[in-house]
Amino acid sequence: MIVTVTLNPCVDRTLFVAGLRVHDTNRVTQTEIDAGGKGLNLSRVATRLGAKTVALGFLGGEAGDYVRLRLAQEGVPERCTPIAAPTRTNVSIESGDGPPTTLNEPGPSILPAEFGALRAELTTQAETGEWVVFAGSVPPSLPRTVIADLARCAHEAGCRVMVDADGEVMQHAMGECLDFIKPNRSEAERLLGRSLPEIGDVAAAAQELHQRLVAQGSDLGLVVISLGADGAVMTSPRGTWHGLPIPVEARSTIGSGDSMVAGILTALTSGLSESEALRYGLAAGAATAMTSGSDIGQRADFDALLPQARVQPLS
């Protein structure tokens, strides 16, 4: 089972306009509303791919009720902790002339009793899970060490741990025994303090990060660096591979990285190899890139794309 932990979920509201005019009136041509948050996206995609999963996180207010409703409609099991403060709403403006303009709220205040309840639920779920995934941002009321602390808790319960975060939160988490990380190119550059312009540079970076995870005690140390239109690079104890991009018409990249992780973990929990898991990740990420706004990939699109997913070994 894949346990996802989303400490700062949201309602995603996407507004479509015909060109964004700053300091002027803009006419919205279409609006899309969906549940958001990296871990929730992962659980939703994993459910569509047939994996067993449960979503944990903090949900409050009408926005939190909406997120619960969306998860229930999609058959995604959740054990989210109720909180007094309302779940945040994030707004994306799709103007048709480049990447979306995003307006992200910081997130709610989490009370000590609420955090304790989530921690207890995590311990319970980790005792029977295979993977615990911590993904996304952290509410401002929680310390930047919170994912590192919860990762330690999950490991003590006997679960493998995956973290998809950035900045100071990720730096702290890297001090724990992590089994899987998936930075994008920019995040990997921040982790290592250098630019990674070529595939060879990315491969060397993945291998270096792999060694860091192994040094912390992981027997897997799986590293995937996602590269958008250039695919992804994966390193495991069995080698390094370049996952080639699948040619699709990308309508929105929101959720593509979460979908890639969902595909990889679905394959790994099914007993497939790391290189085959990368193929699953490529197909799941591309399926989501084909959707508009904050929507996520459909199983039929994943099935159609999987035969096109190719990986090649790197030295």
Tokens read off for 155: 């490991």
Q: How far apart are CA 313 and CA 315, in angstroms?
A: 7
Residue in the structure block whose two tokens are 């790994």:
268
Contacts of 279 (CB under 8 A, 6+ apart): 243, 267, 306, 309, 310, 311
Picking from 285, 271, 306, 265, the residue whose alpha carbon sits closest to that of residue 46 is 265
Q: Mind telling me the catalytic residues?
A: 258
Which of 65, 63, 108, 68 minimizes the C-alpha distance to 84?
Answer: 108
Tokens of 183: 């930075």
CA angle in degrees (0–180, nearest 5) for 180-67-85: 95
Question: Which residues share a beta bridge with 93?
Answer: 15, 101
First to last CA, the chain: 33
**Which residues partner with 312 through β-bridges?**
242
CB neighbours of residue 107 within 10 Å: 22
